[in-house]
Chain A
Amino acid sequence: MSSFKRKDPSKQSNLKSYEGTRVSPASSSTINTSTGISSLDDILGGGLPLSCSLVIAAPDLHSSYGELVQKYWVAEGLACGHRVCVIDDYAEDFLRDLMWYPKSTLSVASEATSGGIKEKEGPLGSTFEDEEDEPTPTDRKVKIAWRYEQMKPFQTTVSTPSLTSENYCHVFDLTSRVPTPVVNEKLVSGKLSLLAPGNPNRTGGATMSALRQVEQVLQEQSTVPIRICIPSLGSPATWGDITPSNALQFLHSLRGLLRKYPHGCASITLAPHLSSDNWSGSGWLQKVGWVTDASLTLAAFSADPALSATFPSHHGIVHITALPSPSTLVAPSDRFSTLRGLASSASGFGGSGENNLAFKCTRKRLIFETLHLDLDGGVSERRTSAPSSTAVELTTATGTSISASAAAKSHDHSQGTCNDHVSSGGPRIDIEFEGPAVPEEKKAVVAGELIAPSPQPETRPKKPKKKVAFFSDRPDVYDF
């Protein structure tokens, strides 16, 4: 008889199976928890694994997207039945603004308790885009080339899970607030704890005190996953004057604690002044990425009007610094993330890189999606006919128009005027002068260079401005 014994897959993993979690597709020994945002789960490779820590850097002082991600984290923990600990002096205010299920879901749930009812998709059950943002066309039948008819619509984000799916990645509505009785019930039952870091006046005191409290919580029980939430690490009011060494030691020690008690996981947002890469010298965010498991930066456009104008449908760019890989050499996100697109590029032609990612906050939810540049010049300024010459018209600050040429072989300097025409196929220089005549030495034009316009006695008829593809009425970022 053969001594071969088939491995029993059910006995492979020695891990407990927790409510509200999923086994990672990359490794059966890794269990993922949802952040509450389906697109962020996708970026992380299915969710944040247990025993891992996630740090969100949000450098913009005028927005609070980092804190919003933490609210999703806590709301998801409450919805899944996990134990949640919020470490902040103002945790009550933080919880008051927690989002919750859409009102339609709550009404469906109340109907369901009275009798059987089929599952009903709320407004967030649609895929790809938020229906409130884009008007649904009445006629979806677009005449399109036959080869593209079977293709799916262009996707920029992952689909939202349906409302009655498994206990993972619940659908929350930003216009809906968590009911106070729910919060009170969780506080009383011990499923929700609010911890204060401790004395911020002692250097390093707040971080050491917070670590002790976290260890206490992790030691208490291991029947349900524990979610640690720090909405604003480094904020002066709660944490005092935190030094870079304190912060890195805290994150490093927190990761050590999570490894020691692998039923816990943590999500931390850095205070805005700690989210800048130049804090404590260059390479700060790299250091944070090394001492944690996952690290993202949500760089909002609030402080940069040029970026807001360039990407009007997004609110910020996502930079990925580190991704969790608790039991594999390759981060699961590299293989399984749809938004990052590395998996598809590896199997296809094998050369393309990952997608740029951005986020936007609609009225009802926060979405991470791929970022794509518009056509060169913008869709509204597209050139429809070939220009007569390759002349490019520039406008100086004084308003005098100069047509620039790449090369001019010879120049004819005529008195009072200076109109150089290059007869070759290249672009030409036209210099118009307004005002009294100027000495000839000032009129000399060197090949390929421009000179400041000099006033000329004759008034020339103003030529209409030629619109070219990249000409914009809006001020260019490089206009000084």
Chain B
Amino acid sequence: MFSPFDIPSGAFTLITDELSAPADFLLHGAVNACIKEHATKARVPGLRAKSESGAGPTVLVLSSSVDLARWKAISSKQNVNLAQHLTNGTVKFVDVACEEGGEMSLSSVFNSISATVGSSSDVLSERLVILDDVSTLEWIGFSPLDIMRFVRALRISCHKANWTFIVRYHVVTPNEVDEQLQQLLGICTYHLDVRPLYSGRSGAVSGEIALHRGAAARQDEVKLIKRSGSLQYRLLDTGPVYFQKGTSEGVL
């Protein structure tokens, strides 16, 4: 799912990014890959029956600010008709920050989606939950404790049902690790760290990515990418083009 990274399905991946190098492309890539895999398996007659047996959504996006127009526009550039999948229920978006009865509550959001996540069925395609993003929830007034409880509860539900769980976190102070990030790093399986270039914006290189092992990862399961040898990427409208740091293969 996370090409070119070998992150296995069912893992809890924390994605951190900065404003100069946002990680939207990773989330869009994960959703579109999941949709394409689901569509491919649905075409196989034997598998189609299994996958359609009331399985619920394949992709669940919990967002602090749902922008469907943007998701649809970007997916269409990657040859995915998101509108169709929204209609047939393959993809579901939930606005986590919407107010119910004048108060924002994460527990009510969890209650409404726990049934969806907990319903494990015999589907063969990978299932995905994305929480985008944790830091904005704290900035707009949610209690950090409530947020961490929500994340932990979701993580446990996804782990039981073998759903892949992705959480995005915005880093605003690059050289500091705040308490919330520390807690997230302590429970994640893998950590994808997207950063801008130290020298500032460039026309040819949009940023670089490192892959670190989290506390829950098994040894030697996935090939890690250190910060010193991070994978650089150039962002195009159709998606990222990756290349090794210091090389320009396929870019220049």
Contact = CB atoms under 8 A, between A and B. Distances in A.
A444 interface: no
B19 interface: yes
A256 interface: yes
Given A259-B69, A282-B173, A329 B24 contact: yes
Contact of B19 (A255, A286, A344, A347): A286
Given A287-B139, A290-B19, A27 B202 contact: no
A462 B206 CA distance: 57
B199 to A, nearest CB: 7
Given A259-B69, A286-B172, A329-B25, A350 B97 contact: no
Nearest to B204: A350
B65 A252 contact: yes
B203 A345 contact: yes
Contacts of A290: 19, 135-136, 139, 170, 172
A283 B199 CA distance: 19
Contact of B67 (A259, A350, A351): A259
A256 B65 contact: yes
B43 interface: no
A244 B24 CA distance: 25
Given A283-B173, A350-B204, A326 B70 contact: yes
B239 interface: yes
B73 interface: yes
Interface in A340-399: 341-347, 350-354
Nearest to B25: A329
Contacts of A344: 203
A345 B202 CA distance: 8
A345 B204 contact: yes
Interface in A270-301: 282-283, 286-287, 289-291
Interface in B66-85: 67, 69-70, 73-74, 77
A328 interface: yes
Contact of A248 (B77, B140, B239): B140
Contacts of A350: 203-204, 248, 251-252
Contacts of A291: 136, 139-140
Interface string B102-143: 000000000000000000000000000000000110011100
Contacts of B251: 350
Contacts of B176: 282
Contacts of A283: 172-173
Given A329-B25, A329-B236, A249 B140 contact: yes
Scoring B70, B77, B199 by chain A CB atoms within 10 A of each residue's CB, the highest score goes to B70
A400 interface: no
A3 interface: no
Interface in A288-341: 289-291, 321-322, 326-330, 334, 341
A193 interface: no
B203 A330 contact: no
B46 interface: no
A347 B252 CA distance: 8
Contacts of A51: 69
Given A330-B236, A352-B203, A245 B140 contact: yes
A63 interface: no
A287 B178 CA distance: 14
Contacts of B206: 330
A262 interface: yes
A255 B251 CA distance: 35
B235 interface: yes
A343 B203 CA distance: 6
B42 to A, nearest CB: 23
B200 interface: yes
B73 A27 contact: yes
B159 interface: no
A262 B202 contact: no
B204 to A, nearest CB: 4
Contact of B73 (A248, A327, A343, A352): A327
Scoring B170, B206, B239 by chain A CB atoms within 10 A of each residue's CB, the highest score goes to B170
A262 B235 contact: no
Interface string B1-40: 0000000000000000011000011001000000000000
A29 interface: yes
Nearest to A30: B73
A178 B81 CA distance: 48
A326 B28 CA distance: 14
Given A291-B136, A327-B74, A329-B236, A353 B28 contact: no
B249 interface: no
B100 interface: no
Given A27-B73, A248-B140, A329 B170 contact: no
Contacts of B135: 290
Interface in B182-210: 199-204, 206
Q: Which 3 A-B pairs have the closest CB atoms?
A: A346-B203, A283-B172, A327-B73
6 contacts: A249-B140, A249-B141, A322-B19, A328-B77, A345-B203, A350-B252
Given A252-B65, A328-B74, 11 more contacts: A27-B73, A255-B65, A259-B67, A282-B176, A290-B139, A327-B73, A328-B237, A330-B235, A344-B203, A347-B203, A354-B203
